[in-house]
Amino acid sequence: MLKYCGRGEYRAKVTGKTRCIEKCKKCHDGYYNSHYFHTLTHCFKCTTFNEYAPLMILVENCTRFEDTKIRCKENFYYIKDPTGGWCQACTNCTLRHQFFGKECSDDSDAICCDKENMIIKNGTCEDFVYCGVDEYLQHRTNDEEESCKPCADGCGNSEERHRKRTCEEKKDSNSSNFSIPPKVLVIILQLLLIIIL
């Protein structure tokens, strides 16, 4: 029994002499399938490149493995659509008196933020998380947001607003960085004994 087909193929039922069997067949011209190890019974129609669209640039023609690759001229991004797609002007955050949170790319618009150095999360601008004294920044995991955690005993951070991921070892406040070499200490003790006696 046939289980999976590869890129550029689709799963088809072929009638044999005594029974119907499943077989992987190549995508026809004008169709593609970019999936690996799949059970799809069809290929996808290639996106049509409009050679008369002045803003579009053909990057690669469609093959049976990949769809047509199209991008737009500078300061435009491509919006893919089942009918072929089009080029849209990139948003200029500076003209809106905002800051670029994310620059315009080949296939997505810029994201403008009200403040500088904001992070983009799910397409929206958010402030960075800043930690305080004796805290460290725990970065975002799959199920937890970025947050500040307390440093372990004997460790800390002295800055009031930071994004450090680790805590530094604290120096004992009772100890001094000033140390006397052992030979000098012996001489001082000998002098003290002479003075006392």
Closest listed residue to residue 166, CA positions, set 181, 145, 149: 149
Buried b (16+ CB within 10 A) or exposed e, 118-136: beeeeeebeeeeebeeebb
pLDDT above 90 (res 177) = no
Radius of gyration from C-alpha coordinates of the chain: 33
pLDDT above 80 (res 29) = yes
Neighbours of 154 (CB within 10 A): 10
pTM for the structure as a whole: 0.60
> Scanning the structure block, which residue is given the tokens 């690669």?
60
Predicted local distance difference test score (pLDDT) of residue 1: 62
Which of 54-58, 59-63, 125-129 is the least confident region?
125-129
pLDDT above 70 (res 142) = no
Residues forming CATH 2.10.50 domain(s) in the chain: 56-126
Report, as an integer, the average pLDDT of 94-118. Answer: 94
Token reading at 125? 């601008």
CATH T-level assignment (fold) for domain 56-126: Tumor Necrosis Factor Receptor, subunit A; domain 2 (2.10.50)
pLDDT above 60 (res 175) = no
**pLDDT tens-place string over residues 82-95:** 777 899 999 999 99
What is the enclosing helix (H) or strand (E) of 186?
A: helix 182-196
